[in-house]
Amino acid sequence: MENREVARALAEIGQLLELRGENPFKVRAYENAARALESLQEDVATLVAEDRLGEVKGLGKSLREKVRVLVTTGSLPYLEELREGIPAGLFDVLSIPGVGPKKTKALWEELGVVDLPSLEAACRDGRVAALKGFGAKTQSKILAGIEHLALTARRRLRSQCLPQARRLLALVRAAEGVERADIAGSLRRGRETVKDVDIIAASTRGEAVMEAVRADEAVDEVIGSGPTKTSVRLRDGLQVDVRVVEPPSYACGLVYFTGSKEFNVALRGYALEQGYSLNEYALRPLDGSPPPELADEEALFEALGLAYVHPHLRETPDALAAARAGQLPELVEPEDLRGVLHVHTAWSDGADSVEEMVRQAAELGYEYVGISDHSAAARYANGLGIERFRAQREEVEAARAAFPGVRVFHGLELDILADGALDLADHLDELDFAVASVHSHLSMEREAMTRRLVRALAHPKVRVLGHPEGRKLLQREGSEFDWDAVLDAAAEHDVAVEVNGHPRRLDASWVRVRRICARGVKLCVNPDAHSAGSLDDARVYGLVEARRGWATRADVVNTLDAEAFAAWLGVGPTGGGKKTAGGKKTAGRGTK
């Protein structure tokens, strides 16, 4: 059983307990445990098998036992019991602001409300207002809540929020009296999906900021606006919260509103140990002496005796422990990326020519680029058979001649067939490299998927395992397989695992990245570009995901310079990817 399934079961128990009116501490214990499992590096199944569940923070004894049962038997009687008789749609009712477990229960028992549609109907014909403890005001608040939920409940891709967030940030920075302003929240932490955008500003004239935000042309509705906070909903439904603090509070405010909540809690706990109370306004010595002046976030961490923890590391509290131990990783930086693979062109399902992609690579300052269109099995994407691959070679040669500063490798994104064989297996000698990816039969069972991937990685042309999880954010979850077995195979054959920078993929995900690096397997951060404009996705999105997984420069194979990278691919030292007599693919196999 995958970690996320166990996490989901625990989260559901939390909600069910809440609906049943149980003790909030118990509810929270399950919520916390679910979160801990979601970001767990190891397979929970392994921990159970080795009797090491105790190593997971926040898992008390009875929770450990439940996890054990769940993992070993695949189900949990306790959860089945709790589910008994509770309609699943009540969870949605519970998520409406102002409707707690008590009210949800009353709506259910008195009015037969089982989900949002039945609740909306009950509001529309006034039955909710007539209910004891509710009233007309509550009813209209619930209706507004339902509408609001429909518009904003869904999370959005980071890429769908960044442009608006940056535009509004510029607007805030331009407002009178603003000394500093930044994007905060999940967007600053680089999370793949975002619920709402948070912006924080330091100003002594808060009203000027609020006015500017309310008056913005993209604003559809002002949800609330006061001296310290304005919330607006943009026309596309995106919610933006803008907070203003006094300049001396800025460092503490920025850390607080950057989150994550779990990181904040841990940091506050640590501050207490150091003799300070910490909140969004100030770091106050407990002995009553005046708070230190903190010019910026760095100063705040320094005052606590900690190295600076980059926002990309603040998803979980682990980084705090690492900072305390002086063991924070030195994260890979955008300028470290010297080139990319996994670039599609109009030959398969891309929009631009080989030459346009290479020109863009040159413009971005890359030293090398690997053209890799889909292979024939990806028929839906107009994948290339060997004849078309050969024909494409002419365009590749032309691009090499036109852009001598960029080394152009010519490969394919090869489909891994259901049994782990590779597409075009008889012709792979003609490729400079292959990114091997799964595009079909994504939900085959775990053992078969593991065998499939392990087999594919053994082929010497395969240098990168493309989007290993196969997830599509907000659409589908990834495949299941034994990561340890696959990573062992990757290590054995010196294959890198991709961090795919397509904003809907971000695959391997940051949780897996940590595990990949810890096992000594290299990453290859790629754009999976389908147009020249998306070639930079490797840096803008893929690299952020890698950083969130603690990746350093040494972990990422495409931080090598062109020569070393060509050697790693197994491509000879001269010419555009043509293998010279001595340049065997084994030449670069010692990179581990």
Q: How far is CA 385 from the centre of its chain?
A: 34
Two structure tokens written together for 297: 């976030």
Shortest Å, Cβ 187 to ligand DGT: 7
Evaluate whether 473 touches 192 at the Cβ level (below 8 Å).
yes
- Quick one: 154 exposed, middle or buried, by C-beta within 10 A (0-12, 13-18, 19+)? exposed
Distance, in Å, from the CA atom of 523 to the CA atom of 495, rounded to the nearest integer, reads 9
Report the DSSP pairing between strands 434-437 and 462-465: parallel
The SS3 assignment for 321 reads helix
What's the min distance (Å) between Cβ of 281 and Zn ion? 48
Residue 311 lies near Ca ion (rule: CB under 5 A): no
Closer to ligand DGT by CB, 487 or 544: give it: 544
Site string for Ca ion, 181-220 (x = CB under 5 A): ----xx---------x-x----------------------
Q: Enumerate the β-bridge partners of residue 277.
A: 284
Does the protein bind Zn ion through residue 264 (CB under 5 A)?
A: no
Shortest distance in whole angstroms from residue 186 CB to Ca ion:
5
The one of Ca ion, ligand DGT, Zn ion, none whose footprint includes residue 265, by CB under 5 to 8 A per kind, is ligand DGT
Site for ligand DGT in 232-271 (CB under 6 A): 256-257, 259-261, 264-265
Overall residue count recorded for the chain in this entry: 592
Least Å from the CB of residue 500 to Ca ion: 24
Tokens (6 digits) for 182: 């930044």
Angle CA(204)–CA(210)–CA(211) in degrees, nearest 5? 110
Q: CA 545 to CA 502: how far, in whole Å? A: 11
Task: State the binding string over 169-188 for ligand DGT (x if CB under 6 A, else -).
Answer: ----------------xx--
Cα separation, 286 vs 284, in Å, equals 6
Shortest spacing between CB 473 and Ca ion, in angstroms: 16
CB nearer to Ca ion: give 186 or 526: 186
437 binds, among ligand DGT, Ca ion, Zn ion, none (CB under 5 to 8 A by kind): Zn ion
**Residue 256: which of Zn ion, ligand DGT, Ca ion, none does it interact with, CB under 5 to 8 A by kind?**
ligand DGT
CA distance 196 to 168: 13
Q: Are strands 239-245 and 339-343 parallel, antiparallel or unpaired?
A: unpaired
Query: Residue 344: which residues within 8 A CB-CB, separation 6 or more?
Result: 350, 372, 373, 374, 413, 528, 529, 530
Beta bridge partners of 230: 225, 242
- How many residues form the binding site for Zn ion (CB under 5 A)? 1
Q: Which is nearer to Ca ion, 366 or 510 (CB)?
A: 510
- Residue 196 makes contact with ligand DGT by CB under 6 A: yes
Question: Which of residues 315 and 413 has its CB atom nearest to ligand DGT in the complex?
Answer: 315
Contact region for ligand DGT (CB under 6 A) — 113-121, 195-203, 286-294, 323-331?
195-203
* Number of residues lying near ligand DGT (CB under 6 A): 14
* Span interacting with Ca ion, options 179-187, 250-258, 386-394, 490-498, rule CB under 5 A: 179-187
In eight-state DSSP terms, residue 213 is H
The nearest distance, CB 571 to Zn ion, in angstroms, is 22
Neighbouring residues of 240: CB distance < 8 A, sequence distance ≥ 6: 164, 165, 168, 196, 197, 198, 199, 213, 231, 232, 233, 234
What tokens appear for 472 in the block? 């599509």
Q: Tell the smallest beta-carbon distance from residue 228 to ligand DGT (Å).
A: 14
Q: 314 vs 338, which CB is nearer to ligand DGT?
A: 314
Near Zn ion by CB under 5 A, which window of 103-111, 241-249, 429-437, 556-564? 429-437
Of residues 115 through 134, those in contact with ligand DGT by CB under 6 A are none
Q: Are strands 276-278 and 283-285 parallel, antiparallel or unpaired?
A: antiparallel
Q: Are 198 and 187 in contact (CB under 8 A)?
A: yes
Q: Tell the smallest beta-carbon distance from residue 217 to Ca ion (Å).
A: 22
Per-residue mark of binding to Zn ion, 432-471 (x: CB under 5 A): -----x----------------------------------
- Residues 109 and 132 sit within 8 Å (Cβ to Cβ): no
Task: Pick one of 1, 194, 254, 497: the residue that binds ligand DGT (CB under 6 A).
Answer: 194
CB 213 within 8 A of CB 186: no
Residue 439 has phi, psi (to 5 degrees) of: -125, -5
- Interface residues with Zn ion (CB under 5 A)? 437
Residues lying near ligand DGT in the complex (CB under 6 A) are found at 185-186, 191, 194-196, 198, 256-257, 259-261, 264-265
Task: Name the residues that contact Ca ion, by CB under 5 A.
Answer: 185-186, 196, 198
